[in-house]
Structure 1
Amino acid sequence: MAKSTIEVASVLSFEKKLVPSDAFFYGTTWSNRSQAEPLALVEKSVRGTISNRLKAATANNTLKLNAEVDKANLQRVDTCALTEKQDTLKVTFTLKVLSGLDKPSACNNKEFLASYAEAVQTYIAEFGFKELAKRYAYNIANGRFLWRNRVGAEKIQISVTLNDGVSLEFNAFEYSLKEFDKTDTKLEQLAAAIAEALEGKQNYLLIKVEAYALLGQAQEVYPSEELVLDKNNSKDKKSKILYAVNDVAAMHSQKIGNALRTIDTWYPDFAEYQLPIAAEPYGAVTNLGHAFRTPKEKNDFFSLFDAFSTGDELSSLEQKHYVIAVLIRGGVFGKSTKE
């Protein structure tokens, strides 16, 4: 049977190959980073002002406006900050890198499985994971995973320890957040370890990452914010609930993962935006409310994956890199038989 007639499996899923832990927050000083203390969340109750956009009928009526502004905006929120004796935030997490990309965790179509495995093995034989691994390594070195905690920092040092005992130090500001062109011996060493683990040349790779950001004494820091689904729970009626594990402020592993896979500079609008986006099936960037890859333009993951996995040649190397990056992300990608 010709490869073009192969149907994508209806049951098809992939385990993620980059597996980050939650990241934990500690306070320390830049001059003595060996001494660090866990940061705890602090609850604040504040009386704010009304500052949201009002309806025209209220905004244009002085009496109604004064009555609205006179209302207290009472808030109960979680915050997190360094102590008055600390000036540096320490963020730690681990990253496990797995191989076996050519083997889905679930697939109910034997013919498709053979075609898919052949496509991935051909990609690995031709390109390895050199380009993708370099970009993952870059996002460790530049501290992208710090998110808002990176903004306004005077200095940022990233310490990376591989499971073979090799230690690498990076100055985060030497590595851009906008491109992946820079290279040096340390970056190449980290990228090579990630690439070998993805390819299966080493059975086990665990990377320990410690980031130190000099922010200033008692400055606020930013753990993950929780999404509160049960809004009727009177016990936790706060306008902002931050994430903590065993009373230590933390960042979700999903947020770390999103930062590490922010490597997609191959989407069509990159020339306009000049910013990498996370490798996602539709190129979704929630804070912009925009999907940069759409089925209409045939540049979304599913359009490209269906062709790639059934033996059709993609039009560019960049499209192949993108497809493999989303597969490393993992997910459920089966094709329904129903229209």
Structure 2
Amino acid sequence: MSPGKAVFFYQTPESDFEPLQIEQNKLIGQKSGFTDAYQKLGEPKSLAPQDLAFGNPQTIDVCYVPPTVNEIFCRFSLRVEANSVEPYVCDDRKVSYWLKRFVETYKEHGGFKELASRYAKNILMGNWLWRNKQSPGFDVEVLTEHSEPIVIEGAQRLKWNGVWGNDEAALATLTEAIENGLANPQAYCYLDITSRIKTAFCQEIHPSQKFVDNVEQGMSSKQLAYTQVDGKQVASLNAQKVGAAIQTIDDWYTEDLKRLRIHEYGADKQVLVAHRTPKNGLDFYSLLPKVAVYIRHMERDGLEDDEESKHIHYLASILLKGGLFQRSKG
């Protein structure tokens, strides 16, 4: 799954693409942190009342909808390739054989359809918009190579485990397109995805935020991601951020917990906890040596709603995500 940058823009009577630009604001930040008034052990610092009233000058990037604009667009492309059918590089023929056989068996039993359905849900629900979903409403349109445009109106009402009603057909069409791209090396799936977001007056937009090590004089301490179009800085979401939202499908690790982004150790960045560890045996590296067992399970019982099948789906999703899965040189 290879997404591109998601670019924000709006339309006018004269232009179908007006870049949503990033502004630089200079302001006086307030002192509100714990260390401004307390020492490490919680002892108050010796301060005058005026010391906590002074502010710190800051420069930050911000992004807002222009006053005359009522809706904006966010658009990105997604390429789906069948790169997970076998290892790209592997110096152990036995490992390569079992991984290839695992994916072939998974494909034969419809496993890719399950993954494709989950990816399709995240796309049509607009999860890749992140905080920008919090708006008066938004639509999602997906263009594929082999079908009519897939359109979801009022996508904010869709729920992961909810009833999709009239939108079930759209979900099925997109699922089939993604499944074909994942499973068939001769079929390349290219998707063009656009969201039309209804906005409030001068609503704030949240592009990706850059990670900044050192802030030089005059630079913003908070920098937003952008791409250049005709010399203008166009607000955007990083491809990695878009991909993270699409791959938030792991609810196989336990019951009644939120979905996680596919990760070898089930990392939950919100609470700084890994749900898949060597201790509970649910991490990728604990499950990977069991591929032969999982192949026999699929050949005997197929992919049912049991613990073994959950492990199989998780393994396949990690292989699809890709990565360097080598041990140390020793």
Question: Shorter-chain TM-score: what band?
Answer: 0.7 to 0.9
User: Which 10-residue stretch deviates more, 76-85 or 52-61?
Assistant: 52-61
Q: In structure 2, how many angstroms separate the alpha carbons of the residues matched to 1:157 and 1:63?
A: 55
Match of 1:40 in 2: 21
Residue of 244, 263, 272 corresponding to 1:258: 244
Q: Contact conserved, 2:85 with 2:183, CA < 8 A, in 1?
A: no
User: Which 10-residue stretch deviates more, 162-171 or 36-45?
Assistant: 162-171
Q: Contact conserved, 2:6 with 2:74, CA < 8 A, in 1?
A: yes
Residue of 30, 37, 61 corresponding to 1:49: 30
Match of 2:194 in 1: 210
SS of residue paired to 1:206 = strand
| 2:240 maps to 1:249 | no
Q: Contact conserved, 1:128 with 1:199, CA < 8 A, in 2?
A: no
Match of 2:84 in 1: 101
SS of residue paired to 2:21 = coil
TM, length-normalised to structure 1:
0.84
Q: In structure 1, how many angstroms separate the alpha carbons of the residues matched to 2:162 and 2:90?
A: 34
Shift of residue 249, structure 1, vs aligned partner: 0.9
Q: In structure 2, how many angstroms separate the alpha carbons of the residues matched to 1:197 and 1:20?
A: 14
Residue of 157, 164, 176 corresponding to 2:139: 157
| 2:20 maps to 1:25 | no
User: Which 10-residue stretch deviates more, 131-140 or 161-170?
Assistant: 161-170
Q: Contact conserved, 1:87 with 1:219, CA < 8 A, in 2?
A: no
The change in CA–CA distance for 1:309 and 1:226 in structure 2 (over 3 A counts) is: farther
Q: Contact conserved, 2:118 with 2:249, CA < 8 A, in 1?
A: yes
The change in CA–CA distance for 1:248 and 1:226 in structure 2 (over 3 A counts) is: same
Q: Contact conserved, 2:31 with 2:56, CA < 8 A, in 1?
A: yes
SS of residue paired to 1:45 = strand
TM, length-normalised to structure 2:
0.87
Shift of residue 35, structure 1, vs aligned partner: 3.8
Greater relative CO, 1 or 2 (CA 8 Å, sep 6+): 1
Q: Contact conserved, 2:105 with 2:295, CA < 8 A, in 1?
A: no
SS of residue paired to 1:332 = coil
Match of 2:116 in 1: 133
Match of 1:175 in 2: 158
Residue of 64, 69, 92 corresponding to 2:75: 92
The change in CA–CA distance for 1:60 and 1:312 in structure 2 (over 3 A counts) is: same
| 2:63 maps to 1:77 | no
SS of residue paired to 1:64 = coil
- For 1:322, give the aligned amino acid: Y
Q: In structure 1, how many angstroms separate the alpha carbons of the residues matched to 2:39 and 2:314?
A: 50
| 2:264 maps to 1:281 | yes
User: Which 10-residue stretch deviates more, 180-189 or 119-128?
Assistant: 180-189
Q: Contact conserved, 1:160 with 1:209, CA < 8 A, in 2?
A: yes
Shift of residue 42, structure 1, vs aligned partner: 0.3
- For 1:73, give the aligned amino acid: N
Q: How many residues align?
A: 312
Residue of 202, 208, 220 corresponding to 2:204: 220
Shift of residue 336, structure 1, vs aligned partner: 2.9
Q: In structure 1, how many angstroms separate the alpha carbons of the residues matched to 2:168 and 2:141?
A: 16
Q: In structure 2, how many angstroms separate the alpha carbons of the residues matched to 1:180 and 1:202?
A: 34
SS of residue paired to 1:336 = coil
Shift of residue 80, structure 1, vs aligned partner: 0.8
Unaligned runs of 5+ in 2: 298-306
CA RMSD of aligned residues (A): 2.5
Structure 1 vs Structure 2: percent identity of aligned residues?
27
> Where does structure 1 differ by over 3 angstroms across 4 or more consecutive aligned residues?
54-63, 178-183, 309-315
- For 1:38, give the aligned amino acid: P
The change in CA–CA distance for 1:302 and 1:180 in structure 2 (over 3 A counts) is: farther
Shift of residue 69, structure 1, vs aligned partner: 1.1
Q: Contact conserved, 1:45 with 1:74, CA < 8 A, in 2?
A: yes
Shift of residue 213, structure 1, vs aligned partner: 1.4
Unaligned runs of 5+ in 1: 1-17
Q: In structure 2, how many angstroms separate the alpha carbons of the residues matched to 1:57 and 1:103?
A: 55
- For 1:154, give the aligned amino acid: P
Match of 1:10 in 2: none
